[in-house]
A = this chain, B = another copy of it.
């Protein structure tokens, strides 16, 4: 008999099927055994008499009859809660060892280190799977959003010859006899590609040698990057970022409804138009609201990020807010200084639920200005030769934005720790196992 995927049993009521999968939960009632069987497509309850003993996570193959469950035994929480399988034969394919914790609980309730020490196993819990499905949807819908706007995907390199964003938080790679680095961002490459395809995006690993352990930093991040030419102003870039983020929210809402429900998550509230404030305006608002005077600081402190989000929600009905115009010197050399106030630049952050979700801005497209900035910022111009070429030989006004898939997954679901937002988180203390 051909195997049937669990998701496909509904039209087969009254028929015999062959199913394969993992035992999720076993309930023994003397002669009768109830077990929840999980495969890649779904979960269904199976019932059998005098079955061979099976334990959770054991891989089995069964044959049985698809039946409607009596009305009062329907489980409304499960997609196939109105069906069950009456097992006629059961074969064990791979016996699981005794579980180190109860994976059948509604919540795993494990401390983070345990959650990660048993990562191969904890990811099999429905809520952990739901998180990963949402992450996949975030990445997928990012691509879809930008392809709909004629952006072309390209592959950015990970090994790079120079650190354009400056020094300390970079990993070195011994490259034969040379020193190279792991990319902190595909920034220079996506700008080069604007000269090729005009509108480009990439989904690419970036690496930050973050020397501290926080709830929102990883050393390895899936960066979602976009860049495009022929903008009229930096506001075009913010608008494209807003379109993209909203597209992602809508896709997650639509395609991960079950996962969102299971996790009890609620997507961020956004207004028709996400509010935009300059850094100095934001600091002024915060000063007026709280008395905390950060009006000359070059960036928002974490508590400022939380406060400006509170303001945005209360005054503008949006959990997200753009903050723009950071001091020119505090941002990378390629950021475009505002012609009206050159000590501030046309870069922006998108702050959501109190943390930075996305960063973007207009870039300098003029070759001479760019070279002068690079030198002033102490970047080795010889090593970014092909980047500078792109500007020497014709580059339109352009800009772009970037955000981490993990950070946005964390934000959408409201996870306390970013390590839960990805399959294999890396930090200072852990690369799969503890260091």
Known: A40-B152, A153-B139, A160-B431. A120 touches B195 (CB 8 A): yes
Residue A389, interface by CB 8 Å: yes
Alpha-carbon separation in the docked complex, A366 to B382 (Å): 53
Residue A124, interface by CB 8 Å: yes
Known: A96-B393, A120-B195. A158 touches B385 (CB 8 A): no
Stretch of A258-266, A288-296, A330-338, A419-427 on the interface side: A419-427
- Nearest CB of chain B from residue A28's CB, rounded to whole Å: 18
Stretch of A71-79, A129-137, A268-276, A306-314 on the interface side: A129-137
In the complex, which of the residues B161, B189, B203 contacts A431, with contact meaning CB atoms closer than 8 Å?
B161
- Nearest CB of chain B from residue A393's CB, rounded to whole Å: 4
Stretch of A82-90, A169-177, A344-352 on the interface side: A169-177
- Nearest CB of chain B from residue A194's CB, rounded to whole Å: 9
Which of A39, A157, A383, A393 has the most chain B CB atoms inside 10 A of its CB? A393
Which residue on chain B has the smallest CB distance to residue A174? Answer: B172
A120-B390, A159-B207 are known; give 9 further A-B pairs, CB within 8 A: A40-B229, A93-B396, A94-B366, A94-B395, A156-B423, A157-B432, A159-B171, A203-B203, A383-B433
B-binding residues in A (CB < 8 A)? 3, 5, 20-23, 39-41, 57-59, 93-97, 99, 117-121, 123-124, 129, 132-133, 135-136, 139-140, 150, 152-161, 171-176, 178, 180, 182, 189, 192-193, 195-199, 203-205, 207, 209, 211, 219-220, 222, 229-230, 365-367, 382-387, 389-397, 405, 422-424, 426, 428, 431-433, 435
